[in-house]
Amino acid sequence: MIQLLSLQLSFIDILLIITGAGLFSIMIYVTIISIIEKEYHAARISFLFSVLIIVPFILLYIYDFPSKPVVSIVFLGAIYFGLLLLLIPFNPKVKRAHQIPKQKYDERDIMFSRNELKPGTNFFESYYSDKPEIKSIDDKFREKPGLLSPDSYFYHPYSFASSHANLEIIDALKTLVNGPVSERKIKTNAKKIGDYIKTWPKKLGAHTVGITELKDYHIYTHKGRGDLYEKKINNKHPYAIAITIEMDNEMVQPAPKAPVVMESTQQYLRVGTIALQLASFIRNLGYSARAHIDGNYEVICPLVARDAGLGEIGRMGLLMTPKLGPRVRIAVITTDMPLELDKTRNFSSMIDFCGICKKCADVCPSKSISFEKREGIEGILRWRINAESCFTYWCSAGTDCGRCMAVCPYSHPNNFMHNFIRWGIGNSYIFRRFALFMDDLFYRRKPKSGKLPSWIDI
Ligand code: SF4
Ligand code: SF4
């Protein structure tokens, strides 16, 4: 018998209505957010879910049959048990999640430095006579058109011209990374000035700021780029401030097409400018400070940012932040101004999630990202990306690719819905498995590269 408009609602009926309406509303909310984010596949799936999810509740509510109370209780019990299972904190320890490098790195070995070596120069000859085994590997990227080249695959006159403009400004700023220190030293309180230093950059547009001790393994042994090539680095600053800034999701989603390199260079410029401001501010207070900005580093920014509590290094080798994943750019300031340190945070849930996710490895056009477990490399457990094949792809594409960053489940926009999911990923081993399944379902295992924003596509 149908009890469509019965006014005598049992407790189970009320629970059915509340649960059904709740789940329906959540799926409609997900649909709306997905439409706003222009994730139309996710919007279709969530709308379908919202319709399907409500059907058993309606049927249970309107139809009367002898075992209805039992069926309703089992049905509701299964739903609440499932929710409980997902939400209860459950985090088996990931062994050796946080790894401390045992050695220092030489900036001359990074791909950008190798790319700047000009054949026929002394630096070129000396580098490859020391490392003949990588000469033929590097020759491969030299055969390609190169980053921001008009002959590259994703050449776009406006985006590339904008990227060049950004890089020109960054280059012009390099003289400001260091400067004279005021003779008048202001006495500061490590906590209060630390708070100031962490708040001001956010007002200037930064996403997060953290402070850590500057460790030996943060510092390159030698300069590998620019006029000071080969110079031994002698940075004795005891403290480092790491700043992250968001890369715009609309610009990242078309990766590896042209907008991604425009956005990378834009955010390197913005975060670099903030670092320069902060370094100059500290010097004005009478303390030594150096900014480390794109193309002008003495330190390995992702490692500093990780130790400053801003994230963890994931499978793709980039800093993964809790709210934007790898969709950030970083700058660092080193200083001798006494500062209260932030705690290094344990993001072992990220390491666990990267262990099962592998989405970046699946989409990488050059197959540079490992599908394997973390391996012991130079005395620590980590994933190693193939920097040479990645960079060779960049030199064909003309952009810094970023496809891995675009598809990473942590990279979704910083809003309530995605933050809740990221919270769940951090909270529970079971939630992580569920979230990955849903991410693949809603956003696809290998999402297609997004369209160029209409204002760029001219
Ligand atoms: S895509 Fe997945 S595996 Fe790759 S870095 Fe992001 S979370 Fe880790
Ligand atoms: S930037 Fe592109 S080529 Fe390099 S690892 Fe990421 S997806 Fe692969």
Give one DSSP letter per residue of 123-167, joined into a string: HHHHHHHH-GGGHHHHHHHHTS--TT-TTSTT--HHHHHHHHHHH
CA-to-CA separations, 38 to 41, 42, 124, 404, 437, in angstroms, rounded: 9, 9, 47, 19, 21
Q: Is 402 in the pocket of ligand 2 (CB under 6 A)?
A: yes
Atom 7 of ligand 1, residue of closest alpha carbon:
354
Q: How far is the CA of 169 from the centre of ligand 1 (A)?
A: 32
Q: Is 384 in the pocket of ligand 1 (CB under 6 A)?
A: no
Q: Is 405 in the pocket of ligand 1 (CB under 6 A)?
A: no
CB 391 within 8 A of CB 256: no
Q: Where are the domains of the chain?
A: 11-87, 107-443
Q: Is 408 in the pocket of ligand 1 (CB under 6 A)?
A: yes
Report the C-alpha gap between 120 and 101 in whole angstroms: 35
Which of 403, 407, 446 gets mutated to test ligand 2 (max ligand atoms within 8 A of its CB)? Answer: 403
Q: List, run by run, the mean pLDDT of 10-residue segments along the chain (458 residues).
A: 56 92 97 97 98 94 89 95 96 86 95 96 97 96 98 98 98 96 97 97 98 98 95 97 98 98 98 98 98 97 97 96 97 98 90 97 98 91 96 98 98 96 96 98 96 93
CB 255 within 8 A of CB 402: yes
Q: Is 314 in the pocket of ligand 1 (CB under 6 A)?
A: yes
Q: Which stretch of DSSP H or E encloses residue 206?
A: none
**Closest among 277, 268, 334 to 303, alpha carbons compared:** 334
Q: Is 395 in the pocket of ligand 2 (CB under 6 A)?
A: no
Report the C-alpha gap between 120 and 270 in whole angstroms: 35
Ordered alpha helix ranges (H), 181-258 = 190-203, 249-252
**Please, how many CA atoms are within 13 Å of residue 46, restricted to the half-sphere of its CB?**
24
Which of 144, 359, 364 gets mutated to test ligand 2 (max ligand atoms within 8 A of its CB)? Answer: 364
Q: How far is the CA of 454 from the centre of ligand 1 (A)?
A: 29
Q: Which atom of ligand 2 is nearest to the CA of 360?
A: 7
Q: How far is the CA of 439 from the centre of ligand 2 (A)?
A: 20
**Closest among 228, 209, 437, 253 to 341, alpha carbons compared:** 209
pLDDT computed for residue 61 by the predictor: 85
Q: Is 401 in the pocket of ligand 2 (CB under 6 A)?
A: yes
Q: Is 383 in the pocket of ligand 1 (CB under 6 A)?
A: no
Read off the DSSP letter of residue 219.
Answer: B
- Provide the sign of the torsion angle of the four alpha carbons 251, 252, 254, 255, taken in this order: positive
Task: Kindly state the tokens that stand for 179.
Answer: 């400067």
Task: Kindly state the tokens that stand for 209.
Answer: 């700021």
Q: Is 369 in the pocket of ligand 2 (CB under 6 A)?
A: yes
Report the C-alpha gap between 219 and 214 in whole angstroms: 8
Report the C-alpha gap between 107 and 457 in whole angstroms: 37
Q: Is 366 in the pocket of ligand 2 (CB under 6 A)?
A: yes
Q: Is 359 in the pocket of ligand 1 (CB under 6 A)?
A: yes
Tell me the sheet residues that pair with 330: 244
**Closest among 369, 346, 167 to 268, alpha carbons compared:** 167
pTM: 0.94
Q: How far is the CA of 423 from the centre of ligand 2 (A)?
A: 26
Atom 8 of ligand 1, residue of closest alpha carbon:
354
Report the C-alpha gap between 374 and 371 in whole angstroms: 9
Atom 6 of ligand 1, residue of closest alpha carbon:
408
pLDDT computed for residue 62 by the predictor: 87
